[in-house]
Copies of this chain bind each other. A is one copy, B any other.
Amino acid sequence: MLAKRVFNFSAGPAAIPEPVLKQAAAEMLDWHGEHLSVWEMSHRGSAFTSIIRQAEDDLRELLEVPSTHRILFMQGGATAMNAVVPMNLVNRPDCCRVIDFVHTGLWSGKALLEAPKYAQVHVAATSEDTQFTYLPPQDSWQLTEQAAYVHVCPNETVHGVQFHFQPDTGNIPLVADMSSEILSRPVDFSCYDVVYAGAQKNMGPAGLVVVIVREDLIGHAMTCCPSVFDWAHVAEAGSMFNTPPTGAIYLCGLILKWLKQRGGVSRMQRESIEKSQMLYDYIDSSNLYYNPVEKVCRSRMNVPFFLRDASLEDAFLAGAKQRGLVQLKGHRIMGGMRASLYNAMPIEGVDALVRFMSDFEGKRLF
């Protein structure tokens, strides 16, 4: 007998599709007749090897990753990658040791803060003047000639802004932290040279980070880069230079299979447009709630919103929880509320949220 499940709006670790959790539970003691769990298999055996290769193949198919790019499964989250990316890229002979950053919110800011350990940083553009409610237009980005790379975060999980255009950085490699939007829409790998993403939002549990990198950028790690984070070692070993996070990769693989069955990334894109539009439309029509982000760059994944009367926040969260709508509290630096609408959030969840928000507002006669 299954307990009733809630609608989970967490920004990450985030909702996992129920069929995936059910399959993981059913296979917990015996994976495919092997009479042992995935969680206790040697990563060198044929069973786990088939799991990791299938996950890699499915991710390549879903995102249409071209053969020019390698897919690496790593550890440490996007936060570790904020150091690992420069350690792997700034030492290339064909560039200078300057990294250009487009600063559009908390997560691009974290990458910007980490990089000076390894290179000179240059803020090519920023929207800090309004606390990140808009995106600096691309023609205002001041790029450095021969920069090692340009860093962007196309979806800012905390500030709720998202690129709805394809950046063009010419010959300078473009690196993107896509943690909170990966697999929610297609990626144009003719403009992105390195994409990294913590799995715990749209493709797995915490403890796994995926790096998709143009193969010809690999092989120039700085001496100080730990071997296990040198992309050349990881690529050569098929993401098994050391013991990979086997269970997290297995769960990621189940989610990728679920995504394929559901119609893949283009279906997820349509759904995320529908879900986010429903919520933004309601917010914009309301007298109680507001979202401060310019409409052209609002995120389809993470919708921060505020109550004009902040004293009502606790009542809002308590009422939402009573209706099975959880993890709606905003990030601690922002306050307010945030609804994350990743792939695993069904439209019924967004509908229930809007109905609750409307009832909550109606009762108070705004």
Report the stretch among A35-43, A258-266, A291-299, A301-309 that lies at the interface.
Answer: A35-43
Q: At the interface, yes or no: A155 with Cβ under 8 Å from chain B?
A: no
Q: At the interface, yes or no: A173 with Cβ under 8 Å from chain B?
A: no
Asked if A83 and B247 make an inter-chain contact with CB atoms under 8 angstroms apart, the answer reads no
Contact-size category for A: 35 or more
A115–chain B nearest beta-carbon distance, Å: 11
A12–B42 Cα distance when bound, in Å, is: 6
A243–chain B nearest beta-carbon distance, Å: 5
Determine which of B2, B12, B208, B241 lies in contact with A207 in the assembled complex, contact meaning CB atoms within 8 Å.
Answer: B208
B residues within 8 A CB of A246? Answer: 13, 200, 205-207
Determine which of B18, B39, B207, B228 lies in contact with A245 in the assembled complex, contact meaning CB atoms within 8 Å.
Answer: B207
A103–B305 Cα distance when bound, in Å, is: 58
Q: At the interface, yes or no: A67 with Cβ under 8 Å from chain B?
A: no
Q: At the interface, yes or no: A170 with Cβ under 8 Å from chain B?
A: no
Q: At the interface, yes or no: A186 with Cβ under 8 Å from chain B?
A: no
A122–B179 Cα distance when bound, in Å, is: 41
A36–B118 Cα distance when bound, in Å, is: 41
B residues within 8 A CB of A96? Answer: none
Most buried by B among A2, A247, A248: A247
Find the B residue at minimum CB distance from A224. Answer: B224
Count of chain copies: 2
Q: At the interface, yes or no: A134 with Cβ under 8 Å from chain B?
A: no
Asked if B207 and A84 make an inter-chain contact with CB atoms under 8 angstroms apart, the answer reads no
Determine which of B4, B10, B79, B207 lies in contact with A35 in the assembled complex, contact meaning CB atoms within 8 Å.
Answer: B4
A246–B201 Cα distance when bound, in Å, is: 13
Asked if A114 and B28 make an inter-chain contact with CB atoms under 8 angstroms apart, the answer reads no
Asked if B118 and A206 make an inter-chain contact with CB atoms under 8 angstroms apart, the answer reads no
Report the stretch among A19-27, A123-131, A347-355 that lies at the interface.
Answer: A19-27
A44–B333 Cα distance when bound, in Å, is: 13
B residues within 8 A CB of A35? Answer: 3-6, 324, 326
Asked if B224 and A117 make an inter-chain contact with CB atoms under 8 angstroms apart, the answer reads yes
Determine which of B13, B18, B223 lies in contact with A243 in the assembled complex, contact meaning CB atoms within 8 Å.
Answer: B13
Asked if B40 and A228 make an inter-chain contact with CB atoms under 8 angstroms apart, the answer reads no
A1–B235 Cα distance when bound, in Å, is: 41
A246–B208 Cα distance when bound, in Å, is: 11
Asked if B12 and A30 make an inter-chain contact with CB atoms under 8 angstroms apart, the answer reads no
B residues within 8 A CB of A327? Answer: 41-42, 45
Most buried by B among A14, A33, A35, A36: A36
B residues within 8 A CB of A243? Answer: 12-13, 77, 79, 198, 200, 206
B residues within 8 A CB of A248? Answer: 207, 245, 247-248
Determine which of B5, B24, B247, B251 lies in contact with A36 in the assembled complex, contact meaning CB atoms within 8 Å.
Answer: B5
Q: At the interface, yes or no: A227 with Cβ under 8 Å from chain B?
A: yes
Asked if B13 and A24 make an inter-chain contact with CB atoms under 8 angstroms apart, the answer reads no
What would 7 more interface pairs be, CB under 8 Å, given A5-B35, A22-B28, A205-B247?
A3-B35, A75-B207, A76-B229, A76-B242, A222-B224, A224-B224, A248-B248
What are 9 A-to-B residue pairs whose CB atoms are below 8 Å?
A: A10-B45, A43-B206, A76-B76, A79-B242, A114-B227, A117-B225, A207-B244, A245-B245, A247-B248
